[in-house]
């Protein structure tokens, strides 16, 4: 087994508890027919979840999304148990199902955060092509702004890893094409070749063997170059196409990267990458691997010489150890609940594990409401009643804040404060008078809250802070160029004139939750857009400036799956009408995105950032989905690129 799970006995108890079955089932022999029935029931629950999701989305029902999430959690636990005790065929089937569950879970989460989309009777809007295409004479109608996501399509089938013979043939071809680059052994050269191979994967999508070798060698070269972020990028890119275990692969690769770190900066990058991996391992209940990964992170943190960083990682290590211990203690809890499903102390422990360790509040509340702790029971019961009034939501949040003030555990306390913050944010829109003042104050006070699953640290000075980050200084043309002959002249980054495609370059920085990006740009005045790649909760999206020549349209791209020229943010006033430098400011906030040009607003959009997604067609060369980027269709000159954090922490990727 590669995953740390409940053992067979406790897994069966948990199945009996959550999905029905005789008490004392641990004394019965589990047959193949039993496992088939469990799989059938899990599949039925998954189908029910899809229907509940679609109904909730159609009705705009927050309670419906919660119910869909609960059903999905039931299915997920069944699949996890089958992954441990099923035969090889069932485990393979279950692995595919779990990927679907994870994707559907994200859709449910996004829907619960805010229901978005256009009314069903709204007329269709005309569509325009992506910025890489010309404007058609008669644009075709666009589909509805927020089409119902297809959960089946959320987890496309992944390819098997090609056999050794096919890999050898492909390897000869790749090594021949990149012969000179493979001969260079310096760490920077290894990193540059890894980046080149990742870019080349865009041209090898129809050749699985070559594609696999490109991904494999990119990972190995990134390891040799001591670049943890490039290593993770290569693994994640491969996992989107091939049937590999991304967590186990990332863990093994980062262990090797640790042997190639040479400087305190290298160690800092490795710490950040390991802490992100720890978050993912905990979410997957892989506590043993998470424990080892955070131990390696602590070793690396000490090598940086950054005492505050080492202290924070040490605290994180304690959180992981506590989570692991609580997970292991669940055996006694589920044994009790298998015999006494309504046992208050056992329900209280199960609910606290789900809420405070897993962050699964929707599910955990149902156990807390039957638990023995009167305070937790009362708060859970109030939340399960789905209150809508601001005063009620604020009062519940106050209750969690009071508990958090008394909590000593560094694992549980942040989860309580994060949950309280989400309730205050839900209360804010309808709050008035002094209640509004109070809620706004609490949200500000909780702006920096973090907890398990929030392990990345700033790449700047110890302790983070709000100081501007000079992003231009981070760009290395050799390592960060995706496409095009970008140049540097002193402190100026120069985009080449278009050579038949979008010129793109990575800005090796993952921004915080909210931030302001200031960019000073000049243009020769010709036709062509400059695109700025930003990050939100759903990943990369972009702002197109002066796109769709000669129309010169600016806007958010994609919004609800629509191009910038075809959504509500489209601005049809030209930005670069002369050669004078322009100061562009992009503010990414939790409730929307603002863009100004020389202090003049051109975009002021309010909405859920999860509606903003990536245009894989326009930005084919962009492989790193965790970093900012720039794209250009003419020779723009960028003399300043600074990021100012507003809330949360960003991190350098090198």
The pLDDT value recorded for residue 255 is 96
Q: How many domains are there within the chain? A: 4
Report the range of poorest mean pLDDT among 76-80, 487-491, 521-525, 575-579: 76-80
The pLDDT value recorded for residue 338 is 61
Shared domain for 528 and 603, answered yes or no, is yes
- Residue where one domain finishes, among candidates 208, 237, 260: 260
DSSP-derived letter for residue 357 is I
The pLDDT value recorded for residue 85 is 66
Shared domain for 641 and 531, answered yes or no, is yes
- Domain extent, residue 366, equals 356-445
Q: What is the mean pLDDT of residues 59-74?
A: 79
The pLDDT value recorded for residue 490 is 86
Report the range of poorest mean pLDDT among 10-14, 115-119, 483-487, 600-604: 115-119
- 405 CB-near residues (< 8 Å, 6+ apart): none
> From CA 96, how far away is CA 92, in angstroms rounded?
7
Q: Which two tokens stand for residue 574?
A: 């030209």
What proportion of the chain, given as a percentage, has pLDDT over 70?
82
More confident residue, 183 or 305: 183
Q: Is residue 293 part of a domain?
A: no
Shared domain for 499 and 434, answered yes or no, is no
pLDDT in tens, 193-251: 998 999 898 888 889 999 999 999 999 999 999 999 899 989 988 988 898 989 999 99
Nearest to 547 by CA among 564, 568, 524: 564
The pLDDT value recorded for residue 312 is 87
Q: Is residue 328 part of a domain?
A: no
Report the range of poorest mean pLDDT among 144-158, 183-197, 246-260, 612-626: 144-158
For residue 568, give the CATH number of its domain: 2.60.120.560
Q: Is the peptide bond before 484 cis (omega within 30 degrees of 0)?
A: no
Q: What is the mean pLDDT of residues 90-100?
A: 80
Shared domain for 504 and 577, answered yes or no, is yes
Q: Is residue 247 part of a domain?
A: yes
More confident residue, 462 or 372: 372
Shared domain for 607 and 498, answered yes or no, is yes
Winning range, highest mean pLDDT, from 4-13, 32-41, 224-233: 224-233
Shared domain for 436 and 495, answered yes or no, is no
Q: Is residue 39 within 8 Å of residue 354, measured between CB atoms? A: no
Shared domain for 599 and 631, answered yes or no, is yes
The pLDDT value recorded for residue 55 is 87
Q: Is residue 531 within 8 Å of residue 543, measured between CB atoms? A: yes
Q: Is residue 271 part of a domain?
A: no
Q: Is residue 191 within 8 Å of residue 227, measured between CB atoms? A: yes
Shared domain for 79 and 188, answered yes or no, is no
Shared domain for 219 and 254, answered yes or no, is yes
**b/e sequence 245-281, b meaning 16+ C-beta within 10 Å:** ebbebbbebbeebbebbeeeebbbbbbbbbbbbbbbb
> From CA 454, how far away is CA 411, in angstroms rounded?
11
Shared domain for 414 and 480, answered yes or no, is no
Q: Is residue 201 part of a domain?
A: yes
> From CA 544, how far away is CA 571, in angstroms rounded?
10
Q: Is residue 133 part of a domain?
A: no
Q: What mean pLDDT value characterizes the chain?
A: 81
Q: What angle do CA 130, 616, 276 make, to 5 degrees?
A: 140
The pLDDT value recorded for residue 107 is 79
Q: Is residue 419 part of a domain?
A: yes
- Inform me whether the pLDDT recorded for 400 exceeds 70: yes
> From CA 388, how far away is CA 373, in angstroms rounded?
25
Report the range of poorest mean pLDDT among 64-73, 99-108, 131-140: 131-140
Shared domain for 104 and 182, answered yes or no, is no
The pLDDT value recorded for residue 149 is 40
Q: What is the mean pLDDT of residues 243-266?
A: 92
Shared domain for 537 and 441, answered yes or no, is no
> From CA 511, how far away is CA 459, in angstroms rounded?
11
Would the pTM of this model clear 0.75, i.e. be above it?
A: no
Q: Is residue 347 part of a domain?
A: no
- Residue where one domain finishes, among candidates 197, 231, 260: 260
The pLDDT value recorded for residue 125 is 33
- Residue where one domain finishes, among candidates 260, 286, 304: 260
- Inform me whether the pLDDT recorded for 466 exceeds 80: no
What proportion of the chain, given as a percentage, has pLDDT over 90?
39
> From CA 312, how far away is CA 318, in angstroms rounded?
10
More confident residue, 378 or 38: 378
């Amino acid at each position: 087994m590669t995953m740390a799970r409940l053992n067979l006995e406790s897994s069966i108890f948990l199945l009996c508890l959550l999905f029905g079955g005789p008490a004392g089932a641990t004394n019965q022999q589990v047959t193949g027919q039993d496992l088939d029935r469990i799989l059938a029931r899990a599949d039925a629950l998954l189908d029910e979840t899809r229907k509940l999701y679609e109904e909730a989305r159609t009705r705009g029902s927050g309670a419906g999304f919660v119910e869909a999430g609960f059903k999905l959690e039931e299915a997920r636990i069944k699949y996890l148990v089958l992954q441990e005790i099923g035969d090889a065929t069932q485990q393979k089937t279950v692995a595919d199902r779990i990927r679907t569950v994870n994707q559907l879970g994200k859709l449910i989460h996004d829907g619960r955060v805010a229901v978005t989309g256009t009314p069903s009777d709204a007329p269709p809007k005309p569509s325009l092509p992506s910025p890489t295409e010309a404007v058609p004479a008669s644009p075709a109608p666009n589909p509805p702004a927020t089409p119902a996501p297809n959960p089946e399509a959320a987890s496309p089938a992944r390819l098997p890893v090609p056999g050794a013979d096919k890999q050898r043939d492909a390897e000869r071809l790749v090594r021949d094409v990149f012969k000179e680059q493979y001969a260079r052994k310096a760490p920077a050269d290894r990193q540059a070749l890894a980046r080149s191979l990742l870019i080349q994967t865009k041209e090898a999508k129809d050749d699985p063997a070559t594609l696999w070798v490109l991904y494999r060698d990119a990972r190995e070269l990134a390891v040799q170059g001591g670049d943890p972020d490039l290593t993770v990028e290569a693994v994640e890119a491969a996992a989107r196409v091939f049937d590999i275990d991304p967590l186990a692969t990332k863990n093994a690769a980062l262990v090797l990267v640790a042997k190639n770190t040479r400087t305190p900066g290298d160690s800092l990058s490795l710490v950040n990458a390991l802490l992100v991996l720890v978050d993912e391992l905990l979410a997957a209940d892989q506590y043993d691997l998470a424990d080892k990964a955070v131990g390696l992170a602590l070793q690396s943190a000490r090598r940086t010489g950054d005492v505050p960083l080492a202290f924070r990682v040490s605290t994180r290590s304690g959180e992981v150890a506590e989570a692991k211990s609580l997970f292991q203690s669940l055996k006694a809890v589920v044994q009790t609940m298998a015999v006494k499903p309504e046992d208050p102390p056992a329900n209280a422990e199960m609910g606290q594990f789900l809420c405070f360790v897993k962050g699964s509040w929707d599910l955990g509340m149902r156990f807390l409401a039957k638990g023995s702790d009167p305070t937790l029971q009362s708060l859970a019961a109030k939340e399960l009643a789905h209150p809508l009034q601001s005063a009620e939501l604020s009062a519940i949040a106050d209750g969690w804040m009071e508990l958090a003030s008394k909590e000593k555990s560094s694992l549980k306390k942040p989860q309580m404060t994060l949950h309280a913050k989400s309730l205050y944010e839900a209360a804010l829109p309808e709050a008035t008078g002094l209640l509004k003042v109070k809620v706004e104050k609490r949200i500000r006070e909780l702006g920096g809250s973090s907890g398990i699953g929030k392990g990345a640290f700033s790449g700047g000075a110890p302790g983070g802070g709000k100081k501007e980050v000079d992003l231009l200084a981070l760009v290395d043309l050799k390592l960060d160029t995706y496409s095009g002959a970008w140049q540097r002249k002193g402190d100026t980054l120069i985009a080449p004139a278009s050579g038949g495609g979008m010129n793109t370059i990575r800005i090796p920085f993952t921004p915080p939750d909210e931030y302001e990006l200031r960019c000073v740009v000049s243009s020769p005045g010709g036709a062509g857009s400059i695109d700025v790649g930003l990050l939100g909760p759903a990943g990369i999206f972009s702002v197109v400036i002066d796109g769709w020549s000669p129309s010169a349209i600016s806007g958010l791209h994609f919004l609800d799956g629509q191009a910038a020229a075809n959504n509500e943010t489209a601005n049809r006033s030209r930005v670069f009408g002369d050669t004078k430098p322009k100061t562009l400011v992009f503010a990414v906030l939790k409730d929307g995105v603002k863009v100004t040009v020389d202090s003049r607003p051109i975009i002021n959009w309010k909405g859920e950032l999860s509606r903003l997604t990536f245009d894989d067609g326009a930005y084919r060369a962009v492989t790193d989905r965790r970093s900012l980027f720039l794209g250009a269709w003419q020779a723009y000159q960028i003399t300043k690129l600074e990021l100012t954090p507003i809330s949360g922490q960003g991190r350098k990727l090198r």
